[in-house]
């Protein structure tokens, strides 16, 4: 017996058959439309990048545990991109001289991370990225929050289905040092602990805090800080609050778009101030959907010119879970609108001519590749989701006519070829 290769994809990656691809295309087209209404321009970049840019800026978890790396024949260490932000920072830095800042860019890259596959996490995903480069203004934060709400509304969500939880890492740093008594050396580890706060029980968190060097009293104060909400702002120095774009946002009408939450820190190392995560409010899918934040000088890896940025990445896995949870997933589109069926092999050319006319009118149209009996062709067209068929018979064709048949009502009429598209559209309506 021959030994066949497996048909399943590599673990953690996915095949998308046409029905699922149809659903994804509909969802992403809505997102593209919203982004472009805001003036964001689409870009793309290579899937292979220098491993160094991720090791330097994406954080220890990605660099040490999740990066797919390889060495090319020239001895260069490369990585499959785990995220797009370092790549877009490189592109912005490399083209800064020709750009008119601030710029609004978006992309939809394929990304790879070596993770343990589970609900919401796979090893290959597609991610909508939206970024603003070249402005420190709090208006960037406001636009990000408005954009997130419009993106989710664009795929059918209502405001009660999600919440945007936002924080400023500088505010949290001030609270950790002034209120909790965390040292500068302990800050990175405490930030990591905060990032895990909702994922572990209190005993586990207390043990991890002890390993960092926090006393029991400090651990208690840490819990108070993280649960304080906006009341935490009253305990912070005025200078720290005045420097915060997020505090500025909280003083505007845009405050209603977010919930201030000291527990949001984001795990990526390049975030410097504002950070945010979008959560599903359904108890059935109570998890973060996506997030982002501000990076004051990510482009500094590539240029001496300081180019501030802010952005977010919306992964396809958690987005599709969100849509399914709230019964917002669109149905797959049919293969075609109409099938043109010749009654004999001699009329195949005529059928192709009719199909050309219908496609020119914007109708998704196919013709049989192998001629079968009319009944079988009608059945196949019905299974393909066609709403109508155009039958090309010799007598009708000689007279310049075709027969248009509804697969829903089974009604049919003979019309001139020039009226076939209008007749089909009437059936589709």
Q: What CATH number corresponds to the domain at position 417? A: 3.40.50.800
Question: What's the confidence (pLDDT) of residue 59?
Answer: 61
Q: Is residue 11 part of a domain?
A: no
Q: What angle do CA 174, 177, 181 make, to 5 degrees?
A: 155
In this structure, the answer to whether residues 234 and 344 fall within a common structural domain is no
Where is the domain boundary, 325, 348, 377?
325
Q: What values do phi and psi take at 393, rounded to 5?
A: -105, 160
Q: Is residue 366 part of a domain?
A: yes
CA 243 to chain centre: 31
In this structure, the answer to whether residues 264 and 342 fall within a common structural domain is no
In this structure, the answer to whether residues 216 and 106 fall within a common structural domain is yes
321 CB-near residues (< 8 Å, 6+ apart):
119, 120, 280, 285
CA 382 to chain centre: 34
Do residues 69 and 55 touch, judged by C-beta distance below 8 A? no
Query: Strand 388-392 to strand 338-342: parallel, antiparallel, or no bridges (unpaired)?
Result: parallel
In this structure, the answer to whether residues 305 and 393 fall within a common structural domain is no
How far apart, in whole angstroms, are the C-alpha atoms of residue 302 and residue 94? Answer: 8
Question: What's the confidence (pLDDT) of residue 72?
Answer: 94
In this structure, the answer to whether residues 207 and 344 fall within a common structural domain is no
DSSP state of 384: T
In this structure, the answer to whether residues 173 and 238 fall within a common structural domain is yes
Domain count within the chain: 2
In this structure, the answer to whether residues 266 and 367 fall within a common structural domain is no
In this structure, the answer to whether residues 177 and 233 fall within a common structural domain is yes
How far apart, in whole angstroms, are the C-alpha atoms of residue 182 and residue 226? Answer: 14
Q: Is residue 71 part of a domain?
A: yes
In this structure, the answer to whether residues 321 and 405 fall within a common structural domain is no
Q: Is residue 387 part of a domain?
A: yes
**Residue 388: which domain range?**
338-428
Q: Is residue 147 part of a domain?
A: yes
- Asked if omega into 102 is within 30° of 0 (cis), the reply is yes
In this structure, the answer to whether residues 297 and 365 fall within a common structural domain is no
Q: Is residue 40 part of a domain?
A: yes
Where is the domain boundary, 325, 353, 369?
325
Q: What angle do CA 260, 262, 264 make, to 5 degrees?
A: 90
Where is the domain boundary, 296, 325, 354?
325
Please give the chain's pLDDT, 429 residues, in tens.
789 999 999 999 999 999 999 999 999 999 999 999 999 999 999 999 999 988 876 666 677 788 999 999 999 999 999 999 889 999 999 999 999 999 999 999 999 999 887 777 789 999 999 999 999 999 999 999 999 999 999 999 999 999 999 999 999 999 999 999 999 999 989 999 999 999 899 999 999 999 999 999 999 999 999 999 999 999 999 999 999 999 999 999 999 999 999 999 987 677 899 999 999 999 999 999 999 999 988 788 888 899 999 999 999 999 999 999 999 999 999 999 999 999 999 999 999 999 999 999 999 999 999 989 999 999 999 999 999 999 999 999 999 999 999 999 999 999 999 999 999 999 888
Q: Is residue 1 part of a domain?
A: no
Question: What's the confidence (pLDDT) of residue 55?
Answer: 84
Instruction: Report pTM.
Output: 0.91
Q: What CATH number corresponds to the domain at position 111? A: 3.30.930.10
Q: Is residue 303 part of a domain?
A: yes
In this structure, the answer to whether residues 417 and 353 fall within a common structural domain is yes
Let me know if 116 is exposed, middle or buried by CB neighbors in 10 A (0-12, 13-18, 19+). Answer: exposed
In this structure, the answer to whether residues 299 and 384 fall within a common structural domain is no
């Amino acid at each position: 017996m021959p030994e066949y290769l497996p048909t399943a994809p590599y673990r953690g990656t996915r095949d998308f058959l046409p029905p699922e691809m149809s659903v994804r295309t509909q969802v992403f087209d809505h997102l593209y439309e919203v982004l472009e209404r805001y003036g964001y321009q689409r870009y793309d970049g290579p899937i292979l990048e220098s491993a160094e840019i991720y090791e330097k800026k994406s954080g220890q978890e990605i660099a040490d545990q999740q990066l797919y790396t390889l060495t090319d024949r020239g001895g260069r260490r490369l990585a499959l991109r785990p995220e797009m932000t370092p790549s877009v920072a490189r592109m912005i830095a490399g083209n800064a001289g020709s750009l008119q800042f601030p710029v609004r860019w978006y992309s939809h890259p394929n990304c790879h991370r070596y993770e343990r596959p589970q609900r919401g996490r796979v090893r290959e995903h597609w991610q909508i990225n939206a970024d603003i480069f070249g402005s420190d203004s709090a208006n960037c934060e406001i636009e990000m929050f408005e954009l997130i709400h419009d993106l989710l509304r664009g795929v059918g969500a209502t405001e009660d289905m999600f919440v945007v939880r936002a924080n400023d890492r500088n505010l949290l740093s001030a609270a950790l040092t002034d209120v909790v008594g965390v040292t500068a050396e302990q800050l990175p580890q405490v930030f990591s602990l905060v990032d895990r706060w909702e994922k572990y029980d209190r005993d586990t968190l207390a043990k991890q805090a002890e390993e960092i060097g926090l006393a029991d009293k400090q651990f208690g104060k840490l819990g108070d800080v993280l649960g304080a909400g906006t009341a935490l702002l009253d305990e912070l120095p005025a200078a720290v609050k005045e420097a915060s774009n997020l505090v500025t946002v909280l003083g505007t009408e845009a405050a209603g778009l977010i919930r201030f939450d000291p527990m949001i820190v984001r795990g990526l190392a390049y975030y410097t101030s504002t950070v945010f995560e979008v959560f599903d409010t359904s108890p059935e899918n109570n998890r973060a959907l996506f997030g982002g934040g501000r990076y004051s000088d990510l482009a500094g890896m590539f240029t001496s010119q300081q180019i501030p940025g802010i952005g977010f990445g919306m992964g396809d896995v958690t987005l599709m879970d969100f849509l399914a949870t709230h019964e917002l997933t669109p149905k797959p589109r049919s293969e075609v609108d109409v099938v043109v069926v010749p009654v004999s092999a001699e009329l195949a050319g005529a059928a192709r001519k009719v199909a050309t006319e219908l496609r020119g009118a914007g109708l998704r149209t196919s013709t049989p590749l192998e001629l079968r009996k009319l009944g079988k062709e009608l059945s196949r067209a019905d299974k393909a989701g066609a709403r109508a068929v155009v039958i090309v018979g010799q007598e009708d064709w000689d007279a310049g006519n075709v027969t248009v048949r509804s697969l829903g009502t089974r009604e049919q009429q003979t019309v001139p070829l020039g009226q076939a598209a209008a007749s089909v559209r009437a059936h589709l309506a």
